[in-house]
């Protein structure tokens, strides 16, 4: 079944210049990239993305990680991959959550590490099921930033809104 999944190359992936290596590994899936961008991750987005983990002991460290405060660089790369079995194909290449337990040839096995704080610095995020993918893709992307119409949309009038344009 065709499905979409969200991938985030976390701040350690960008800082370590691993973007190319990770995209090359993900291309083994033969899935289509239907959206991609570099995002500056603020607190609000970070909390929304990881809200289901808020009671975990590692949560404050996880928020520091995804907002780039651990690496002094708040950029991540977010991508939407689309195709048959996209969620499991990407999770397979990403590897287990704990980089020490991940298959050494998976992305997390090859490039991840466990910090002395205990946090798993594991280079990539990948949605774990269809519901999570839908929630995450709609959180990180606007409809017009994805080339396929994945989810229902609606039109709203935004006349009062100001936006920044090139001078």
Question: Among all residues, which ones are annotated catalytic?
Answer: 125
Q: Minimum distance from CB of 87 to ligand IDP (Å)?
A: 11
Window 95-114: residues binding ligand IDP (CB under 6 A): 97
Considering the rule CB under 6 A, would residue 62 count as an interface residue with ligand IDP?
Answer: yes
Buried b (16+ CB within 10 A) or exposed e, 146-162: beeebeeeeeeeeeeee
CA distances from 10 to 65, 87, 110 (A): 8, 18, 15
User: Which of residues 45 and 143 has its CB atom nearest to ligand IDP in the complex?
Assistant: 45
Q: How far apart are the first and last CA of the chain?
A: 45
Residues that bind Mg ion in the complex, under the rule CB under 5 A: 128
Query: Assign residue 155 a region: left if phi > 0, alpha if psi is -120 to 50, beta otherwise?
Result: beta
Considering the rule CB under 6 A, would residue 21 count as an interface residue with ligand IDP?
Answer: no
**Stretches 14-22, 28-36, 118-126, 149-157: which one binds ligand IDP (CB under 6 A)?**
118-126
Sites of contact with ligand IDP (CB under 6 A): 53, 58, 62, 97, 118-120, 122, 125, 128
């Amino acid at each position: 079944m065709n499905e979409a999944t969200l991938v985030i190359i976390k701040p350690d992936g960008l800082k370590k210049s691993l973007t190319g290596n990770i995209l090359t590994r993900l291309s083994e899936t033969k899935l289509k990239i239907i959206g991609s961008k570099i995002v500056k991750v603020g607190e609000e987005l970070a909390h929304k993305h990881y809200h289901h983990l808020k009671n975990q002991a590692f949560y404050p460290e996880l928020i520091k990680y995804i907002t780039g405060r651990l690496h002094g660089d708040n950029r991540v790369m977010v991508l939407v991959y689309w195709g048959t079995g996209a969620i499991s194909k990407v999770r397979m290449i990403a590897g287990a959550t704990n980089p020490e337990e991940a298959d050494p040839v998976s992305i997390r096995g090859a490039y991840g590490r466990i910090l002395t704080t205990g946090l798993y610095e594991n280079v990539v995020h990948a949605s774990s099921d269809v519901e999570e993918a839908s929630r995450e893709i709609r959180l990180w992307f606007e409809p017009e930033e994805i080339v396929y119409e994945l989810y229902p949309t609606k039109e709203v009038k935004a006349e009062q809104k100001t936006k920044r344009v090139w001078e």
